[in-house]
Amino acid sequence: MDFSKPRIIVELGPGEGCHTRRIAKKMCPNSRLVLFELDKDFCRHLHKQFRHDPRITILNTDAMCIAEELERLGNPSCDYVVSGIPFFVIEAHTKLRMLENIGKGMAPGASFITYQISLELKEYARQFHLRHHEFCLLNIPPINILEFLKPMESPVETSLSVSAI
């Protein structure tokens, strides 16, 4: 992640905040980190942990709401989405909807970084471009780190009509 300038970062399923702490340490003072966590106990723990950091917003809501919640917070889109959500246990239809909603919340050119046990997400995340894949054998269990990019919006296409003479 490029922390050299202010960023809007979303973390899906931060749990107890292991990755969140690392991200917060590296963020610029004007960056924002929005956490989406469903578990109320984890949310309480995160609130205690980050109560003095105004850059961090903790939401006890579903990742399906990413675009709406970013808009509500005054951020039309984010630069990074970081996720440890285990997509391999989510049914296909829900997984596709979740990836679609993640994409809606991302700015063109933004990164979706996820760590997964399997590589199946490559087959589902077709709206993104796989930029980088790394296998971390020393992690327990071993995981794959995948970085997907949201494509830059294509220029507006103009169609020329040719009249028959």
Residue in this structure with the two tokens 């950091």, named with its chain if needed:
53
Domain boundaries, the chain: 8-149
pLDDT band at 150 (very low <50, low <70, confident <90, very high): very high
The runs of H, that is alpha helices, within 11-110 are 18-26, 40-50, 66-72, 92-104
CA 15 – CA 66 distance, rounded (Å): 17
- Report the alpha-carbon angle 27-43-34, nearest 5: 35
Which one-letter DSSP state was computed for residue 157?
A: P
Asked: is 8-149 a CATH 3.40.50.150 domain? The reply is yes
Partnered with residue 106 across adjacent β-strands are 78
**Is the pLDDT at 128 greater than 60, yes or no?**
yes
pLDDT for 2-54, tens place per residue?
Answer: 999 999 999 999 999 999 999 999 999 999 999 999 999 999 999 999 999 99
SS3 122: helix
**Which pLDDT score, from 0 to 100, does residue 87 have?**
93
- The span from the first CA to the last CA of the chain, in angstroms, equals 57
CA 44 – CA 17 distance, rounded (Å): 11
- Total-model pTM: 0.88
